[in-house]
Amino acid sequence: MRPQKWRLDLLEPLITEEQLQRRVAELGAEISRDYEGRDLLLVAVLKGSVVFLADLMRHITTPHSIDFMATSSYGAATESSGIVRILKDLDMPITGRNVLIVEDIVDTGHTLAYLRRLLLEREPASLRVVTLLDKRERREVDVPLDYVGFVVPNAFVVGYGLDYAELYRNLPYIAVPKEGFFDEE
């Protein structure tokens, strides 16, 4: 596969680094209050959620551990097909634990709906969801979100963990591609 061109000039910032950092700190404080005195396991979905997880957990002041899952949906890169495949399962059992799923973005909701069903079968003490971004206009299945960073419009976004063709995850802000971004060179 030929590497994609790095087209920073064709990205329009949508959520700035400052806005992200302020909101992630607020979410961390809220989660810390809600889980005070309780066990907590953060379950992040690879790879998009790692940047959010890394910042969020440093704002959670109560004891907690982390674990990872990897999922993949069949079909085109920027469209969700609703069929989800588990590429990597959790390392640890979650029975009787307070689990908080950490997501980068909820789009159609299929990935999260599938993940919730899968984790609920393992009988955690509780199961909640924190997502940095909620693209709710695109929702196809109703899935409860307990903590939401930002509601975003119906547009493809990159940065802060979110990729296009595996690039741009390292941007400290969230951006929307401009005209020409997706064109072949």
Choose, by CB under 5 A, the member of 28, 48, 159, 161 that binds Mg ion. Answer: 48
Near ligand IMP by CB under 6 A: residue from 11, 24, 53, 107: 107
Encode burial over 96-130: b for 16+ CB neighbours within 10 A, e otherwise: ebbbbbbbbbbbbbbbbbbbbeebeeeebeebbbb
Residue nearer to ligand IMP on the CB measure, 33 or 117: 117
Which candidate in 55, 104, 107, 134 is catalytic?
107
Contacts of 96 (CB under 8 A, 6+ apart): 123, 124, 125
* 51 is an interface residue for ligand IMP by CB under 6 A: no
Strands (E), the chain: 11-15, 41-46, 65-73, 84-88, 98-106, 126-134, 147-151, 174-177
Known active-site residue 107: yes
Q: Which stretch in 2-10, 15-23, 24-32, 99-107 sits in contact with ligand IMP by CB under 6 A?
A: 99-107
x-or-dash string of contact with ligand IMP, 74-93, rule CB under 6 A: ------x-------------
Stretch that binds Mg ion, among 2-10, 47-55, 126-134, 146-154 (CB under 5 A): 47-55
Comparison of 29 and 155: residue with beta carbon closer to ligand IMP: 155
Pairwise CA distance, residues 114 & 59, whole Å = 28
